[in-house]
A and B are shown apart, each in its own frame.
Chain A
Amino acid sequence: MFTLTPSDYNAILLSIKVAVTATVLALPFGFAVAWLITYGRFRGKLVLEVMTNLPLTLPPVVIGYLLLLLLGSNGLLGQLLDSIGIRLIFTWRAAVIATAVVGFPLMVRSIRLAMESIDPDLVHAARTLGASRLNAILTVILPLSLRGIIAGSSLMFARGLGEFGATIIVAGNIPGVTQTIPMAIFEYASSPSGDTMALMLCVVSIAISIVVLLLHEYLCKRIMRAD
């Protein structure tokens, strides 16, 4: 029988909430960084590239630990936020930050690939036709990298659903507060009678992923047709 407990529902909703928030939050930054890497000419570009891609190669636990150091009550940013009354660690917001950091390189990568395939002369044409730099970004680069933006967002969202290592360190595994699908599965799997429940959540995970992939395909097809 396919049954879910109220805490499972909470975990599912929280997973979606965290992944969506992280993706939406990362989108403007992802676009900006992709633009800087593709079109920028400045010192330290390589550093930016390496820093952006670092979370892709680092173990998520390391990222989580570094975030804990940074955002914890003794951390540089943590103290600052503490003084204005914001606590991040062990809240769902911390899960959002961890998810955003881990998924960020995937988003930048997809947008960047799309941007690199845009003919630079299209941007030049726009500039000589009277578009300011920002206007050319909004009216030429943005619409032409839409496919990369959609691909990057769905990739990051899907990756966010599965985020475990960094999240468990900065947000913990508090049922109803920071427990996402992977955390709940982890908990079921470590109890002797949790096999069926773990499997239920796996099915939910698979279902969400399939929906995301289908949505991605659908959106890309629509853009292709519009072209």
Chain B
Amino acid sequence: MNAPMKTPDFTAAREAAFRAEIAEFVADSLPDRMRRDHELGRSLSRADHVCWQRKLVARGWGAPHWPEEWGGAGWSMRQLFVFEEAMSALGAPASPAFNTRMIGPILLAHGDEAQKRRFLPRALNFDDWWCQGYSEPGAGSDLASLQTRAVRDGDHYVVNGSKIWTSAGQHANWMFCLVRTDREARAQNGISFLLIDLTSPGVSFRPIRHFFGAHVFNQFFFDDVRVPVENRVGDENAGWSIAKALLEHERLYSSRHTEARRKLGRLRRLAGEVELDGAPAARDPRFRQVLARRAMEVRSLEYATMRALERLVETGEIGAYASVLKLKGIEINQRLDEAVFDLLGPDALPADAAWETPAAADFPHPDARNAAEARYWFRGPAIAGGSQEVQRGIIAKRILNM
């Protein structure tokens, strides 16, 4: 990603005014239903995401971390952080990462001018919905062993193979994809980065349901899919380094500090409502220890993320520190999910769908909705984007030189 311009004078007064500006925008623009669904960790529909993103784009906030010439806001890292934190605290959903956090930065760093002009504005406005095609049935943590192959045929590649665990792929019309273009080279060296139009002949997919029932993942199949050579990003066989940079990027955002802050808000609201031994949990000495631990962890995660941003500005890269962020960000989020679930006790029993039944009329806590499913959903981030074990391996090898 290009380092955004530094703005030296983001003073406390300016920050307060900026936060007020954000609050006003959210109050005017974000429908209550969407805010509520997001607060409860329920997934939003494609239409909701597109609607919200277009409101952000209209305000100039669609991808503030992009360069200004492509629709970015030209803010300092500090201001970007405040923006995200404030939006999240107000219950505003973040736009799905694939467009603005992944393919956007990739094209900005590695795309040619034609690719940028063709794809960036549409990605920003969600005219296209991108998904990621990395994992394969036989290549998960060992991503470099991927087998989907792209064979050159004139000015096209012919792609055959399968990609799996494609989150939100059912919404997507484009996939950025790692394919093998040289079967002789060492694993990492024969990989290229392709952009595939999912409406092309030969593309199909099947839904994969999460164990709690939601349609979260997909498997895509490519059967002699013809992809123009102009849709390759970077050089042939140089896709691995692009993917690796993106994975680091993914890990920066997988600190998931804004999600953690949102979950902490839910835990605090419930602490005032749920009674333990006849008094609100907020006054229960044992629960107070839990709440304090969770709140301190969120603070530390926010500072850790700010350090990463500072480092990104000063050195242009995050390095293996991203792995620490991911490892701890996941753990802190999972502990928050668990704290909510535990505090609710029996009131966490109703399924998300139960809230649509007549029985829900006197369920005690509206903030209980989706508590179990949200916790189950979050098993996934510990595996995706390089499992926790992969992160530990990176930390040991690249930071500790073990």
Q: Do A and B come from one complex?
A: no
Q: Report which A residues bind B (CB closer than 8 A).
A: none
Q: Report which B residues bind A (CB closer than 8 A).
A: none
